[in-house]
Amino acid sequence: MRRTRLSLAAAGAACAVVALGAAPALGHGGGSEENPEVVVSGLDGPRGLALGWHGDLYVAQAGRGGDGPCIAGPEGPTCLGDTGKISRVDVRRGKVHDVVTGLPSLAAEDGSAAIGPSDVAFDRHGKLHATVGLGNNPELLADLLADGADEDLVEQLASVNRVRHGELHEYADIADFELDKNPEDSDLDTNPHSLTFTRKLTVVADAGGNSLLGVRPDGKIVTLATFPQEAEVDNPLAPGTKIAPDPVPNAVVKGPDGALYVGQLTGFPFVTGTATVWRIVPGEKPTVYADGFTNVIDLAFTEDGNLLVLEIAQNGLASDDTTGALFEVNRKHTDDHKLLTDDLTLPGGLAVHKDTVYISNQTIVPGQGEILRFELD
């Protein structure tokens, strides 16, 4: 599969917004009747969210990189550090407690646009799992090691893990899978960005490999689905030429009907209105559930079975507009998309409990990340 480097970084951290111009000024957009309230702030690259059985919220923080070895990233050098973490948020008191610290984080030298811990999710037994992203060619991991990077940090990149006793315990190496299975050795990328569960599988959306993967209990990884390239569009970086954007599947949830639902970012040049939510039954071809979105970053189902769709950039990652948006898709009329709020700035993750929606927001600049709370009607 052909990858678009800009799209992969955007899937993990919206790096492309920084790459296509100066780092954007961050601030909430307008346009909603009810604005989300801030639960906690001061986070470093908050991404995926998960609600625990006791009502606490867990968040993957991608970190701020570090002063370790650097590799060539899609938008410039990204430097390794141990600033990634998984944290528990007491949403009643607005307190943050770190569950796992010292996790790998790759970021620009100023700590922005980090890629590290990307998602958290609970399995049916109540055990917490987490993905760590990469957003790059897994062959570059060897370069980090050769330059003296901490071996444990490097091994945790592009992985799926159980969280136990304050540590990550890897059970799937997505980097090795990409190296082994991708026939295009000159075009390798992997970025495990989102996860959910069926009764027999851990399901992972690989935004770098443009695929949906399943991890069996014995650790074997299988491909559940791949996604078609988008229709060709004008390439703004090469006038007079065309480019077929990558699909970039970077959000996966299990629906109330037992099917898997996958949201796609769509790659560079991030054309508005071209992102799709796919419905997938393993063993069958993906079908379109809802479309017409822009740069989908996460999905969640409400208690009544409607789908919430979070857009990282409502007007496209190639624009100067950092406004995100949250939509609700009517379960009976999936072409009915209700805008719930656009008072968001480059959001990254979504979780729902009854009528309360939690959103990770301000995912680019270290120290500015926050968790927002929004009440459904």
Q: What is the DSSP letter of 35?
A: P
290 token code pair: 């809802």
On the question of pLDDT at 324 being above 70, the answer is yes
- Strand partners for 229: none
Cα separation values, 120 from 50, 172, 221, Å = 6, 15, 19
Region 122-140: mean pLDDT is 96
The per-residue pLDDT for range 265-287, each reduced to its tens digit, is 999 999 999 999 999 998 888 99
Is the pLDDT confidence value at 224 over 60?
Answer: yes
Contact 263, 227 (CB under 8 A): no
Q: Percent of the chain scored above 90 by pLDDT?
A: 84
Q: What is the mean pLDDT of the chain?
A: 90
Residue 84 has pLDDT above 80, yes or no: yes
If phi over 0 gives left and psi between -120 and 50 gives alpha, with beta otherwise, what is residue 313? Answer: beta
Q: N- to C-terminal Cα distance for the chain?
A: 42
Angle at 364 between CA 358 and CA 370, to 5 degrees: 30
Q: What is the pLDDT of residue 150?
A: 96
Give yes or no for residue 23 having a pLDDT over 50: no
Both structure tokens of 248: 């970039």
CATH code, 248: 2.120.10.30
Q: Give the confidence band of 183 by pLDDT, cuts at 50, 70, 90.
A: low
Instruction: State yes or no: pLDDT of 18 exceeds 50.
Output: no
Give the residue with greater pLDDT, 197 vs 228.
197
pLDDT, mean of residues 307-327: 97
Whole-prediction pTM value? 0.92
Average pLDDT over residues 72-98: 94
Q: What single-letter amino acid sits at 247?
A: P
Q: Read off the pLDDT of each residue in 337-364 and give the average, rounded to a whole number.
A: 97
Write out the residue range of the structural domain in which residue 177 sits. Answer: 5-22+31-375
pLDDT at position 10 is 43
Q: What is the mean pLDDT of residues 239-250?
A: 95
Q: Report the number of distinct structural domains present in the chain.
A: 1
